[in-house]
Amino acid sequence: MHGSTTVARWRRRVAAIAGGSFFAVACLGATPTPFEVRVVDDTLSVHSTDVPLQDVLRRFQEAGVRVRMDLRINPPITADFDNRDMYKALVALLADCDYAITWASVDGPAGPIKRIAEIQVFRPGERNSTQPLPGNANLTRSQESVRARSSLIVKDEVLVRLRHGASLKVFKALLAQIGGTVTGSLPRLGLYRIHLVPGSSLKDVLNQLAANSDVEAAEPNYVYKDVAPQRAGDGQAQMRVWQVPPAGSAAAAVAILDTGLMSEPQLGNAVVASFDAIDPDRPISDTRGHGTQMALIASGVVPLLGDSASAADVPVVPIRVFDDNGYASSFGLMQSMLFAIDHRARVISLSWGSDTDSQFIDDAIAYATGQGAVVVAAAGNEPTGKPYYPAACPNVLAVSALTPNGDVWPSSNYGSFVSMSAPAFADLPVGYNGPAGTYAGTSIATAYTANAIARYLALHPAATAAQAVTALTQSLTPAGSGVGDPHYGAGKLDGSALAAYLK
């Protein structure tokens, strides 16, 4: 969002909104009652009787608005109006409070859309006492039938791409038709993220969008799960401190779209940029450990078991795109890919997935590879033989897992979509939702492969993504039935293959 403006009022009482009623009395600890709040584009509807203000404002949070409050303030709100101008409605709703309202412009292919970005509520002269309104910062998920199959999605959200030339007037009419509010956009991909009125029928909304001649494509905001590596023992991690590449060398960074990053002294200056897509206003963190594990491997700080040619130092761009429950949205993933490209990551490592394909994710990956990045993804830790996305997407290097002796790891997924195989066991100082120790998984094999590709690109900075992948596949040690083997793909990234790739 760009072009924000702030409107502030202190101790100002405003008359009731025409066509509805409004009443507020200062009181603490009121008991919540059933109510309705609908944020649709630039209009607001509220139907409530003695509902605490904080509960009302949580509905704004669900619609993508940041809310900060002095939590001592919580008067009961009684209101009854529909589709009122957002600004006038908020002025009345907050009449007995000191407040500040920030508006911002969401850029997009149809033109900029003004939306409310933040609400602050505080006592006179105590604006610094505000804090984020407590609530569930994790994705609100729902299981829905999409394209004749059950898929996990972000509840009450849809992603839309308009046809070229669609006007802002047409788009706003579409928002009114589906009861939608723009909460974000990815202009380079031509996408809008739209919040729907709670309780909307996703199937009906998607049908409406499909029938609209101004809509090129629409799909749910799909949810992806992080890939849980398997703990295989109590091994002791053998780490080293990351070393800055020699002056004049061409470093190529790996972006790790995962659960974030803990503070790890061994990484030193390896982190060249970071981003929290779940809460962009906070520094990156990691409550699950998986992202930190992947960063330690992709950076070269932690070697893999059975690896005769240890990984070398590579800079990393850790991005927290999974929430504390281990779920990420397709919008957050695409946003993170763009952040990686903007911060000059040459490799994007995706150690997660699901059985749900997304055309919009495919498009984001194609954009990333078109910008010179290599995208590497885990084949999955269940041997189903079924495609696993984004590993099975076009333009992605799908990696299966090997044991320390070079055999197929029994839990590794397989299939025609597998591009190659790589070592997958490591003694890690950080656990995945548990203790440190020896872990195994295609996620580890993916991070290791990302390290190798980054090293190649450092040696060949002018190489394209396609050239880096071609050189890698030609260097792999043949295995199984040859190129296209469902378990090994084009072959194994063992010590001799790595040496050939980096010669």
Residues 190 and 104 in one domain: no
**Range picked from 39-53, 240-254, 412-426, 428-442 for highest mean pLDDT:** 412-426
Are 208 and 254 in a shared domain?
A: no
ω into 390 cis (within 30 of 0): yes
Same domain? 215 vs 260: no
Could you identify the residue written with the tokens 């492969």?
449
The pLDDT value recorded for residue 260 is 95
Beta strands in 285-436, from DSSP E residues, in sequence order: 316-320, 327-329, 345-350, 352-353, 374-378, 396-402, 420-423, 425-428
Give me Rg for the CA atoms of the chain: 25
pLDDT tops 60 at residue 370: yes
Q: What are the tens digits of pLDDT across the range 237-279?
A: 777 666 666 555 568 999 999 999 998 878 888 999 999 999 8
pLDDT over 90 percentage in the chain:
65
The domain total for the chain is: 3
d(CA 184, CA 174): 16
Place of tokens 């401190």: 241
In Å, what is the CA distance from 440 to each residue of 33, 86, 362, 425?
49, 52, 27, 4
pLDDT at 15: 30
Same domain flag for 196 and 312: no
Q: Are residues 392 and 259 both part of a single domain?
A: yes
Q: In this predicted model, which residue has the larger pLDDT, 251 or 154?
A: 154
Alpha helix ranges (H) inside 343-483:
359-370, 442-459, 465-475
Q: Domain residues for 148? A: 141-221
Q: Is the pLDDT at 33 greater than 60, yes or no?
A: no
Strand ranges for 76-176 from DSSP E: 76-85, 98-106, 113-122, 131-132, 141-146, 149-162
- Is 31 a residue whose pLDDT tops 50? no
Residues 99 and 21 in one domain: yes
Residue 173 CA: distances (Å) to CA of 64, 99, 166, 184: 20, 31, 11, 18
The predicted-structure confidence for 94-129, as pLDDT tens digits, reads as follows 988 899 999 988 998 888 898 888 999 999 989 999
352 plus 261 within the same structural domain = yes
CB 288, CB 324: distance < 8 Å? yes
Q: What is the pLDDT of residues 60-92, one digit of tens each?
A: 988 889 999 999 999 999 999 998 999 999 998
Please identify, among 204, 221, 238, the residue that sits at the C-terminal boundary of a domain.
221
HSE-up (13 A, CA, CB side) for residue 429: 17
Q: What is the pTM of this model?
A: 0.87
Q: Are residues 446 and 354 in the same domain?
A: yes
Instruction: Give me the CATH number covering residue 170.
Output: 3.30.70.80
Does one domain contain both 266 and 315?
yes
Which of 112, 132, 152 represents a domain boundary (last residue)?
A: 132
The pLDDT assigned to 277 comes to: 94
| Domain closes at, from 178, 196, 221 | 221
Indicate whether 215 and 232 sit together in one domain: no
What average pLDDT does range 162-172 have in this prediction? 92
Same domain, 327 and 424: yes
Shared-domain flag, residues 314 and 195: no
Check residue 485 and give left, alpha or beta (phi > 0: left; psi -120 to 50: alpha): beta
Q: Sheet containing 316-320: which strands, arranged edge to edge?
A: 275-276, 316-320, 253-258, 345-350, 374-378, 396-402, 420-423
Those residues whose C-beta lies under 8 Å from the C-beta of residue 222, and which sit 6 or more positions away, are 151, 152, 153, 154, 329, 330, 354, 356, 358, 361
* pLDDT at site 20: 36
Domain containing residue 355: CATH number = 3.40.50.200
